[in-house]
Structure 1
Amino acid sequence: MKKVWYPFFRIFHLGHDQDAPEMIDETIRKGVSVGGANLWELFFAILIASIGLNVNSTAVIIGAMLISPLMGPIVGIGYGAGVKDMGLIRLSLRNLGIFVAISLSTATLYFLLTPLTHAQPELLSRTNPTLWDVLIAFFGGAVGMIGATRRYSSNVVPGVAIATALMPPLCTAGFGIACGNWRYFGGAFYLFAINSVFIAFASLLVVKLLRLPEHGEIDAVTRRRTRLIIAFIVTATAVPSAFLAYDLVGQKVFEQTALSIFQGIDKDSRYVLLGREISFAPRRVMLTVGGDGQIEEIRQTVERQFAARGYDDVVVTVRYVGAEKFDVTQLKQELQQQVFSNTLKELQDSIAARGRLEAEIKSLKAGQEDHQHLIREIGAQYPEALRITVGSGSKALRHAEAPEPSIIVVMVVDQPISTQDRTRLQAWLEARYPGQAVELVINEEIPQVKPPPRARRR
């Protein structure tokens, strides 16, 4: 039996490409930091997300998710709890608070100044979190932590940033503050809390699963208290979403039932269904019809069909516009053509947006793969290199009109590299990346030699 199951477990084993614990620790601590580029990235990301929500642009919102640094402190909280590093937990909580304060302030200021004050569908979708958001945050946090512990970078982090969506809820909360709608603020900030808590919780579980080395020791009483606090926070965050999910399911079932009833009524050749309004709480239905049908007959028919499906308390209201001024058959055809045209346009827009997103992801993935090949090639040529870091960016001089693309290569070596080798490496990089500026930085890190132990006196 052991021989049968061993290949199965080996396939799913996470230790094949896991990075060294000290490199994992360094990567996560860098993501927790506040200051410099991180704050500017956050500031611009929150503005981009606010504009995307304001104009109802899904592509713009996705772009803001990809550049947001909010994941760093949240993962740091889960990682710190997993390795028992209270200092890292406190630092991550403090920096997350700074990030949230800056995000809310920026989003509120934007929505106070923008002339577009109408709540768009992309914005409203962030005001009603449910249990499904809990599951998305948990699984997204788990796969994000697994990706952070890998030896080589992958497209996991951008995918997690899009799936968990930390930035849009904070923008929506800022919209709620700006317009004085505390229901919007509460729903959006609760969604952000769900994402934060369950990303951190999933990161904690992955750290325990990978058995990363602990950085501290805590006594049994503190360990028990910490576990109770974590259990309380996770439960308190998840329970309200379960009730909201129950209401959402009930609302969707009611809406589907109403739509099926309306489809049956609309097939009657005596009248045409011009409009409908469905309200789940309280359960009310308002229909606008035209043709030769009778209002009372339609109302009784709809109420009977609702009652047959278990909804006895539905209040049905029918508005009648008459049949003298239009042909029912022609009107139905015009409505069908309009619906088909609108649906086709939405489908074309969706396909175009998806194509642009796939092209961006493909470009990012190609750049990451190229950097991995470059690291391996440099490592093969210079075995004295301890660490090699490669990144893409932009370079601009003080009086330059526009920045130019650049490649940054940072090497940490344990032996000095001659000027000739530096020049050869610089020339090789410039030939490999024509048309781009190349920044080569070489730092020496000479290992310290411990002095021999002193001889004991006799």
Structure 2
Amino acid sequence: MNLKPDFISKEQLVENVDNDMEQTALVYAILVCATLMASVGLNYNSTTTIIGAMLISPLMSGISGIGFGLGFSRLDMAKRGTFIFLLQFAIILGISFLFFYLTPIKEPTPEITSRTSATIWDILVALLGGTALAISKTRAKDNNVVVGVSIGTSLILPLCVTGYGLSNGDFTTAWNSVKLFLINVFLICLAVFVVVWLLKYGSFEKRNLSRYALFVLPFLLIGGFFVYSTVDTTITEYRAKQFSETELADYFVLEQEISSSPKELQLTLVGETLEDSDVEVLQEKLSAYNLADHQLTIQTYSSREDGSFDASVLADIMNKQNEGTSKFLGLD
């Protein structure tokens, strides 16, 4: 067994990345097909169709061009990758918008709702995917790691969900899904950049410092803000989950929502009705979970004296459960 790394030269690596960014009409035809497949899969909640769309999506070419271009300190390559990425972004967004605008089925499916929020785990997957992508490009042998990265980060799906949100006037869904997409793109590029320098493929000329900083700084600021907000939201949701499991152990948590402006923790419970004094006590306990700055709001669905539920109440409970809740509650 030979464990010696089979690295290629920097010149060959640059040539390979440039070749990957070669765009033809057929590439964009495949991109359109992948977008339509992803949109159909999301609309009809078909996992197999969604996987097929991820397999054929050629979305990684521009993204790898940006990451390797920054790593090589070649702004021409990074700019070319950015142009390809923005063009592909516009095509996917436009096609998915038209599809969801024309389709008679407008209700959000579980596949759609699962692409409307980013977590720490999405960040980790994107970093690992970008690292694998960069390492695979430095190998002398052909491989299909790019396909694995496309599936793992599922880049095309949140962007199609953005098209869904825009077509239905649901700007919250559109914003959350495009943020998930941009976080994945940023972290893949960042991982590629780091690997390029760790493997000593990177180089830098001081005379290009100002141009390089002008290109990179907005990229880092926007991407960094998205990552920070995602980590902060994930930690807050986890703390809220701990609060619910500990302080409301006798209740079934049907729905958990956290709003940032104003800061509020909204819980929908199934169990005995809580008095105002009980809610005040729970509000004071939020400080123990670093949630003292959040206002607690609780809605409770209670049964009759015989333990049964009114039909309308039961219908509300089932509807809320079908809509899906926070990933951390395990009720998706």
C-alpha contact (below 8 Å) 2:130/2:187 kept by paired residues: yes
Shift of 1:101: 0.6
Local SS of the residue matching 2:106 = coil
Count residues with an aligned counterpart: 292
Which residue identity is paired with 1:88? M
CA–CA separation in structure 2 for the residues paired with 1:98 and 1:137: 22
1:258–1:179 distance in 2 versus 1, CA, 3 Å = farther
Q: Tell me which residue corresponds to 2:196.
A: 207
Contact 2:182 2:223 in 1 (8 A): no
Name which structure has the greater RCO, CA cutoff 8 Å, separation 6+. 2
Tell me the CA shift for residue 285 of structure 1. 3.4
Q: Deviations over 1:114-151 (max 9, x none)?
A: 12111011111111123332222122111111112111
C-alpha spacing 1:152/1:112, structure 2 compared with 1 (3 Å): same
Question: Which position in structure 2 is the counterpart of 1:154?
Answer: 143
Q: Which residue of 2 aligns with 1:287?
A: 270
Q: How does 1:269-280 map to 2 (within 5 A)?
A: 277-280=254-257
Residue aligned with 2:7, SS:
coil
Contact (CA 8 Å) 2:196, 2:202: kept in 1 or not? Answer: no
- Same amino acid, percent of matched pairs: 29
Give 1:310's aligned residue.
Answer: 285
CA–CA distance in structure 2, aligned partners of residues 247 and 59 of structure 1: 33
* Larger CA Rg, structure 1 vs 2: 1
- Give, in whole Å, the separation in 2 of the partners of 1:169 and 1:127: 7
Asked if the contact 2:162/2:173 (under 8 Å) is kept, the reply is yes
1:237-291 CA-to-partner distances (Å, cap 9, x unmatched) read: 322212222332234334544774237xxxxxxxxxxxx6334444343436xxx
- Asked if 2 retains the 8 angstrom alpha-carbon contact of 1:303 and 1:316, the reply is no
Q: Given that residues 170 and 192 in structure 1 are in contact (C-alpha distance below 8 angstroms), is that contact kept between their aligned partners in structure 2? A: yes
Shift of 1:174: 0.3
Match of residue 9, structure 2, among 8, 20, 38 = 20
Q: Is residue 131 of structure 2 the alignment partner of residue 142 of structure 1?
A: yes
* 1:220-259 correspondence runs (5 A): 220-222=209-211, 228-229=217-218, 231-257=220-246
1:59 CA drift (Å): 2.3
Structure 2 CA distance, aligned partners of 1:316 and 1:178? 31
> 1: CA distance between counterparts of 2:283 and 2:183?
39
Gaps of 5+ in 1: 1-9, 264-275, 289-294, 327-458
Aligned amino acid, residue 252 of structure 1: K
Whether the 8 Å contact between 1:104 and 1:173 is mirrored in structure 2 is yes
Flag structure 2 segments of 5+ consecutive residues without an equivalent: 259-264, 288-295, 310-332
1:80–1:86 contact (8 Å) kept in structure 2: yes
1:311, distance to aligned residue in structure 2 (A): 5.3
Amino acid at match of 1:84: S
Runs of 4 or more off by more than 6 Å in structure 1?
none
> Is 1:319 the counterpart of 2:296 in the alignment?
no
Question: 8 Å contact 1:254–1:280 — kept in the other structure?
Answer: no
* SS of alignment partner, residue 261 of structure 1: coil
Contact 2:45 2:111 (8 Å CA) reproduced: yes
CA contact under 8 A between 2:97 and 2:166: conserved in structure 1? yes
Name the counterpart of 1:96.
Answer: 85
| CA RMSD across the alignment | 3.2
Q: Any conservation in 1 of the 2:39–2:99 contact (CA below 8 Å)?
A: yes
Matched letter for residue 61 of structure 1? I
SS class of match (2:232) = helix
More strand by share: 1
